Structure 1
């Protein structure tokens, strides 16, 4: 593997906001906010590598995976194995909803697992801590295609200039790099110069 492999977590950042991706992945600028700190705190119990058994299910925690074809690499929070089927599981601090960034990260993890194991993985699950529920994510042909396209776009974006701020006030308010990205200030300067 080379340094050009995209971490799965950065794929999540890409779908959330290409500018955030650029700050974190290309420039290496990371900032903690309440969301990052809470997420780190909630992961403390699952961040221990190893395998445990719950009934008929083997749970492989903190599994390193990669996909040479797509040049992505990362850690899956857990891979559950039961009756010969592998199910990647991600743990998120928020509430269950249709978060495409979470779906891309999970699907990319499945694509890595498929390349590593030669097995077909049909779905994964995301456990949302805020409402303590699991969401099943089917790895449809459409989601697989969108995920692969997002990976390609993220790789391409890392070679280009920084993207402009997005027009999503809610995302910007919750973003960990808001204090260095300064989306409102950048937009105001762009308006003054146009």
Structure 2
């Protein structure tokens, strides 16, 4: 990886798959706002990060472990990594803490898989699965790092790299289910910006028709 290539935060992959505009607002424009959902998520992550290291029943648990991948240009910190030393070779499992419940999209799974890709490169191991722990259900959701998820994760990494290289924030597209609970809705203004975009397209079509 070239020294001047901008590293992609692991969290950006989740933002990218959820909404490219949100990803750009956070990681290109450095905008952030907190609401109840982000506050709950932050508190959940802080609890995980403050636990440090522990060993129990043959499992070494490491919290807030720094991650990086030179090959993929990724950087970040994982919530929890379990090293199951009762098995040989040692089984490595990344665990990510999330507020709420399992989602219909795969943004959380992509972020977790990217953590696994970093760990595989750093530790020279093969990681078959990890888990997402959701605050509402208080249960782990096992995530298999199969070929489909790995391919999706690499596509999202490539898309995020293209967004960073382009250094431009995508236009707003309002979707009530996605936008109304986003902490950046005031900064994004998807309803207003979306209408402006539609008006611009209408004006462009009118001008084109005059030239024909």
TM-score bin, normalised by smaller chain:
over 0.9
Structure 1 gap segments, 5+ residues each: none
Rounded to whole Å, the distance in 2 between the matches of 1:169 and 1:142 is 29
Name the count of aligned residue pairs. Answer: 194
* TM, length-normalised to structure 2: 0.87
Q: What is the alpha-carbon distance in structure 2 between the residues aligned to residue 98 and residue 56 of structure 1?
A: 34
Rounded Cα–Cα distance in structure 1 between residues aligned with 2:199 and 2:103? 37
Residue in structure 2 matched with residue 157 of structure 1 by the alignment: 163
Q: How far apart are 1:191 and its partner, in Å? A: 2.1
What displacement does 1:187 show?
1.0
1:189, distance to aligned residue in structure 2 (A): 1.4
Kindly indicate whether structure 1 or structure 2 has the higher relative contact order, using CA contacts under 8 Å at least 6 residues apart: 1
**Preserved contact between residue 17 and residue 166 of structure 1 (Cα < 8 Å):** no
Structure 1 residue aligned with 2:209: none
1:93-104 to 2 correspondences below 5 Å: 93-104=99-110
Superposed displacement of residue 86, structure 1: 0.2
Computing the radius of gyration from Cα coordinates, the structure with the larger value is 2
Please state whether the residue corresponding to 1:131 is helix, strand or coil.
coil
Contact preservation (8 Å) 2:59, 2:83: yes
1:5 pairs with 2:7: yes
The yes-or-no answer on 1:178 pairing with 2:185 is yes
Counterparts of 2:34 and 2:61, CA distance in 1: 30
Give the Cα–Cα distance (whole angstroms) in 2 for the partners of residues 99 and 57 of structure 1: 31
Q: Does 1:148 align with 2:154?
A: yes
1:58-82 per-position Cα deviation (integer Å, ceiling 9, x unaligned): 1111110111011001111000111
Other-structure match for 1:27: 29
CA contact (8 A) 1:76 1:109 kept: yes
1:121 maps to what in 2? 127
- 2:206 is aligned to none
Q: Is the 8 A contact 1:96 1:134 kept in 2?
A: no
Which of 59, 64, 68 is 2:66 aligned to? 64
Gaps of 5+ in 2: 203-212
